[in-house]
Structure 1
Amino acid sequence: MVVTGASGNVGSALLRELGSRGHDIVAVARRVPEATETEQGSIEWHAADVADDRLDAVLEGCDAFVHLAWMFQPTHDPDTTWEANAVGTRRVLQSAARSRVPVVVVASSVGTYSPAVDDHPVDEGWPTDGPSPAAYCREKAYVERLLDAFEAQRPDVRVVRMRPAFVFQRSAGSEQRRIFGAPALRPWMLERRILPVVPIPRGLRLQAVHAGDLARAYAEAVERPVHGAFNIAAADVLGQDELGRILDARTFEVPARLTRAVVEGAWRARLVGAPGDLFDALLRLPVMSTARARAELGWEPQHSAADALSAMVVGAREGAGSGLPPLQPDSRFP
C-alpha cells in the first residue's frame, strides 16, 4: 500500500493504524524520517514531492493508494498551494491510472462543501463547490472535480473520498500552532493565565474528529469494498460553551463581521496564518451527517470532538510533537 503525505497529522495516525493491521506500507513525503517498523507491518519511506515528481514507479504493483499529501501554507502564495494540491493531485491520479492501481482513497474535506442553509446535518450528496473563495476551499472543490473525471475515465478503479471535519491529536499540537497561529506565538502564550477570556465569533460551531478515529475510517475504506464519499466527524458539535470548557477560559460573543475584519487585517500583516476568506468558510460550513460511515464502514468514533480539540490544545500548550518532520516541536523556543 502507498500513502502520500504520510508524515503529517493524518498520515502519522494512518501509519500507526495500518501497521497495527499488518499492512506493508510505502510512505511518501517531501521530508522523510529514518525508516521505522510498525507493530506488525513495515514502512518503507520514499522522498517525493507530488507537485514535481512522478509516482509511477512507487505505485507500480501496489494494491491500494491513499493520497493525503496537502499543503496549507503559504496562504500568501496561492500559486504554490495550487501547484501542490490541485495540480499535484491531478498528477498522482494520472500516475495511479498508468500504474493500474485498483483502489484509490483521497483526502477531501468538510471544506469542500457549499455553504450551509441551516444546522440540519447534510449527507454526502450536498454540493461540493466550497463555502468561500479561500484557496483551501477552492483547491478541495477542484479535487472533487478531478475525482469525478477520474471515476468516469476509470470505472474499473474503486475510488473513495474521505470528507473529515477538523482533525486533531496531541502530537500535532505544535504543527497546528505554527500553521494557524501567529509566527511569534509560543506554547506558554496559550496558557489560561495569559488567555483567561477568549472572544468567540457569533454563529461559530464546528465539528472535529480525532486523528486516530479518522485513521480507522481510512483503514476500513481500504479494506472494505466501498466506494464514494464518506463524512467523518465525532457526534458532538462544538459551540461557545464547549470551546470555553476546552480552553479553560471565560468566553464572550463578538460580531462575526468584526472578527472577520480583525482576522483579515492580522493575516495581511502576517500576524496569523489564516486569511479572512477562510474565516468566512468556517462560519458557513454545514454540519455533516456521518450515517453512511457508520453503516458502511462500521465506523464509530472513540473520541468526542471535545476530546480531539482538547488533545490538540494540550499539545500546543506543552509544545508536543513527534519525530516526523512536519510534527516536530519547536526546539528554538520554550
Structure 2
Amino acid sequence: MSTHESLRIVVTGATGNVGTSVVKALSEDPDVASVLGLARRLPKLSIPGVAWGTVDLSREDSPGALDKHLAGADAVIHLAWRFQPTRDPVVTWQSNVLGSIRVFEATVRARVPVLVHASSVGAYSPGTKDEPGVDEEWPTYGWPDAAYCREKSYLERVLDTFELRHPGIRVVRMRPGFLFKEQAASEQRRTFAGRYVPGALLRPDLLPFVPDLEGLRFQILHSDDAAQAYRAAVATDVRGAFNLAAEPVIDAQQLGDLLDAKVVRVPATLMRSALTAAWHARAVPASPHLFDAVLRLPVLNCSRAHDVLGWQPTRTAQEALSSFLRGVRRGTNDREGKWAPG
C-alpha cells in the first residue's frame, strides 16, 4: 500500500463483530490516512485513529448522509447488517437489502473507486460438506427459506448488475464462514440464543451432550483474521469473490472436544421441532429456517484468498470458537469502552 499513503476508508457497520476488527486493522496500517466508521448510533468505543459517524441505512433519507460521509473516500467497506427481527423479514429487508443498495448507489455518486462488500457462505446454494469444498464459482442462490440467505443471495445479483454498469469501480465480495471473537460474544449470544439463555450455561459440567446432526459441518474464522482479509482487499488490486475460513471444519466431535461433552446422534427433525417450538414461543430469536440453512451450507475452498490476496488466518477454527465461548461465559462486549486486544 506504499503508493496509497493518503487512503481514506469508510466502513459501514463499524461497531459490529467484524466492523470493530476491521476499523482497528485499518487504523494500525501506516498506509491508511483516515478511517471513518459508520453506525446507526455513535458508540461508546474508542479506537485510536478512527472517527465515527451515524447513518441509518433503513431510512429513505439516508442517501444524503451517505453522500456526505463518502465524499473523498478511496474505498468503502460495507459490513452493515441487521440479523433481527427474524419474525419480521420486511424490517431486515429494508435495512439489509435496500440499505445495501443505498450504499452501492452512494459509492457511485461519490466516485469511490473501491467497494468491498460483506457477503457470506450463506449466499451459496447447498453443496458438498466434504473437503476441499466449493470455490467462488459455486452458485449463490442461497437457501430460499431463510431470510438471511435470501438477502445475501439477492445482493449478489445486485452486484452482478452493478459491476456491469460501473466497470470503473473495483468490487470485491467477501464470503466468510461463521465469524467469532471474544469481544463480540455477548452480543452474538443475545442475537442468536436470546437474552434468556445465560452464557454461564455453556459450561462443560452443565451440558448433557452435544447433538450430532446430519449435515452439521461448518467453518469458522476469527473476526480479526477476517479483518486482515478486508484490509488486503483494499490494498491489493483484486476483484471478485473470496471465500474465507480457517481450518479445520467444525463438526459435532470437534464441538464435543471443545466443550468436554459427550456427542450423541440426534435426528435433525427432532432438533428442528424443538427449535420451532422455542421460536414460536419467543424463547429464542434464531429461526428454524436458519437452522435448515446451516445444515445445508457447503464447505468452502479458500485457495483463492490464499493465492491472490496472500491471506492466511492466524488462528485455527478451534481457537476462534474457544475465544467466542470464553467471551460468552464472561459476558464480554466490545461496544463500550476502549478496545481490548483479542
Same fold flag (TM > 0.5): yes
Aligned-residue offset at 1:246:
1.6
Contact kept? 1:247, 1:313, Cα under 8 Å: no
Deviations 1:142-171 (A, max 9, x none): 110111111011000000000000000001
* Pairwise CA RMSD: 1.5
**Superposition pairs of residues 113-262 of structure 1, within 5 angstroms:** 113-120=124-131, 121-262=133-274
Q: Percent identity?
A: 47
Deviations 1:14-68 (A, max 9, x none): 1111111032111100122257342xxx211001111111201111110000000
Contact kept? 2:229, 2:311, Cα under 8 Å: yes
Contact kept? 2:176, 2:221, Cα under 8 Å: yes
Contact kept? 2:128, 2:134, Cα under 8 Å: no
Structure 1: distance between partners of 2:23 and 2:70: 17
User: Aligned pair 1:29/2:39, yes or no?
Assistant: yes
User: Aligned pair 1:69/2:80, yes or no?
Assistant: yes
* Range 138-147 or range 117-126, more displaced: 117-126
Aligned-residue offset at 1:268:
1.2
* Range 73-82 or range 268-277, more displaced: 268-277
Deviations 1:57-93 (A, max 9, x none): 1111100000000000111111100000000001111
Structure 1: distance between partners of 2:194 and 2:166: 44
**Superposition pairs of residues 282-297 of structure 1, within 5 angstroms:** 282-297=294-309
Structure 1: distance between partners of 2:47 and 2:302: 33
Please point out which of 5, 15, 18 is paired with 2:23: 15
Q: Aligned letter for 1:17?
A: A
Structure 1: distance between partners of 2:45 and 2:215: 46
Contact kept? 1:36, 1:44, Cα under 8 Å: no
Structure 1: distance between partners of 2:310 and 2:134: 19
Q: Could you tell me the TM-score, scaled by structure 1's length?
A: 0.93
Structure 2: distance between partners of 1:35 and 1:273: 26
User: Aligned pair 1:49/2:56, yes or no?
Assistant: yes
Deviations 1:175-208 (A, max 9, x none): 1110111331112222223214232323311100
Q: Aligned letter for 1:232?
A: L
Structure 2: distance between partners of 1:244 and 1:101: 47
Q: Which runs of 5 or more structure 2 residues have no equivalent in the other structure?
A: 1-8
Q: Aligned letter for 2:52?
A: W
Structure 2: distance between partners of 1:65 and 1:289: 26
Contact kept? 1:132, 1:277, Cα under 8 Å: no
SS in 2 for 1:85: helix
Structure 1: distance between partners of 2:298 and 2:45: 40
* Range 12-21 or range 192-201, more displaced: 192-201
SS in 1 for 2:21: helix
Q: Aligned letter for 2:230?
A: Y
Q: Could you tell me the TM-score, scaled by structure 2's length?
A: 0.91
Structure 2: distance between partners of 1:267 and 1:252: 23
Structure 2: distance between partners of 1:312 and 1:295: 28
Please point out which of 94, 105, 128 is paired with 2:105: 94
Q: Aligned letter for 1:102?
A: P
Say if 1:311 and 1:37 are closer, same or farther in 2 by CA, change over 3 A.
Answer: closer
